[in-house]
Structure 1
Amino acid sequence: MIEFLSQKMMYFLIENNAIKKEEIEIYNYTFETVIAFLINIIFILLIGWIMNRFICTILFLVFYCPIRQFSGGYHAENYKSCLLTFVAIYILNYVILENFFINKNSILFLLITIISFIRVYKKSPFEHREHSLSMNQRKKYKQIVFLGLTLDLIISIIGIHFKSIYVYSIYILSVINIIYLMIILGSIKQKITEKSQKFI
């Protein structure tokens, strides 16, 4: 579906002389990435709405997406797997927050998040072999991740002291743990790939 929509958009631009034929691959990749991103966002927002946590979900995405872009971590093999993984992780996050941390165990959750903060900072940017970064890029990405995590943490710590925004703050705080989970999954995937390549 994503590939189909991307090709339709691309050929529309070609027919209208907006892009050249030699630029097809670049535009096709860009369109596919944007469409996949929008589909993921729409699905997560829909889940947030169904679970009566729409504003929490918006805030989660506002903090999650920019940090995740620079922190790296697990990436699925295709767009469908990416969507299913993200949906599954967000639902898991919802279940854990609602059953164990909303209006209880706030100090424990904060301690877990601080540990995740430290681990994400140490491990980021977690990159794939095919997308290796230069030393300058790594330093820049690490700085961006640190700033994003720090902003997330400060806003959340302040917010949990106010009843009116407490739940929002817990969801924002959960971003750090989910990003750490993505790095753990990325590391596991990398080790499995390395082991399988040894037997080839």
Structure 2
Amino acid sequence: MLKSLSYKLTSYIENNSDIKSNDDLEKINYSLQAILNETFKIIVLTILFLLLGKINYFFFSMIILFSIRIFSGGYHADTTIKCLLWTTLFFLITSLIAPMLPKLNILIYNTISLLSIIVVYFRTPYPNSNRPIKNKKRRWHLKLISTFFITFWVTILLFTTSDTRYLNCGFLTILLQILQLIPIKKGVSI
């Protein structure tokens, strides 16, 4: 449904603008699909976490995730439903389970912090076949921004977050995101 809507919008743009290049139209269609899919997911997840009474942790986790993932990349499901299921699982872990965990030893938080910064620096931007990054300057730019955001969030969590529920929610969000950036052997799928 969302795919057909994006095609209709792209067709409308093609018929009512000077844009006629197939390459440009494909980019517009891909962007529209991404926007529609994300909007759909956010609406569904917001309703779910409102019903669960965990909307504050969901939004906290979402802000951390989006500010890192936009620049670092990560796993992409091949359908909207699979994406919604994976995203729901992700946020159930970070927003429902993480706040219930006890405060961990500071060494664990520091280890996750260091590992996160290293992985993000060396593995971003993570390749995406639908949106390849061929320009080295752009790759470097995305690497710096994603490293900045991971460092920013780790610093905020370690030095200003006294509530263990938010601390665990934030660190589990970061940990789950960086695990997506660690390469796995060919033939093994997520």
Deviations 1:104-130 (A, max 9, x none): 225255135212332232222221466
Deviation of 1:64 after TM superposition, in Å, equals 1.1
Structure 1 distance, partners of 2:55, 2:96, is 15
Q: Which residue of 1 aligns with 2:168?
A: 170
Alignment RMSD (CA, Å): 2.9
Deviation of 1:153 after TM superposition, in Å, equals 1.0
Matched, 1:118 2:113: no
Deviations 1:138-168 (A, max 9, x none): 221111011101111111112333x4xx533
SS for the counterpart of 1:183 is coil
Q: Is the 8 A contact 1:155 1:169 kept in 2?
A: no
- In structure 1, the gaps of 5 or more residues are 195-200
Q: Is the 8 A contact 1:159 1:169 kept in 2?
A: no
Q: 1:96 to 1:113 in 2, by over 3 A?
A: farther
State the TM-score, normalizing by the size of structure 1.
0.75
Structure 2 distance, partners of 1:138, 1:99, is 38
Q: Is the 8 A contact 1:117 1:177 kept in 2?
A: no
Q: How does 1:1-200 map to 2 (within 5 A)?
A: 1-13=1-13, 17-18=16-17, 20=19, 22=21, 24-101=25-102, 104-105=103-104, 107=106, 109-114=108-113, 115-128=115-128, 131-161=132-162, 163=163, 166-184=164-182, 187-188=183-184, 191-192=186-187
Deviation of 1:63 after TM superposition, in Å, equals 2.1
Structure 1 distance, partners of 2:88, 2:64, is 17
Q: Is the 8 A contact 1:116 1:180 kept in 2?
A: yes
More helix by share: 1
Identity %: 23
Q: 1:37 to 1:143 in 2, by over 3 A?
A: same
SS for the counterpart of 1:6 is helix
SS for the counterpart of 2:53 is coil
Q: 1:26 to 1:119 in 2, by over 3 A?
A: closer
Structure 2 distance, partners of 1:119, 1:127, is 14
State the TM-score, normalizing by the size of structure 2.
0.79
Deviation of 1:52 after TM superposition, in Å, equals 1.8
Structure 2 distance, partners of 1:95, 1:58, is 12
Provide runs of 4+ in structure 1 moved above 4 Å.
11-15, 18-24
Q: Is the 8 A contact 2:72 2:126 kept in 1?
A: yes
- In structure 2, the gaps of 5 or more residues are none
SS for the counterpart of 2:126 is coil
Aligned residues: 185
Give the letter for the 1:122 counterpart.
F
Q: Is the 8 A contact 2:94 2:170 kept in 1?
A: no
Q: Is the 8 A contact 2:71 2:143 kept in 1?
A: yes
Give the letter for the 1:110 counterpart.
Y
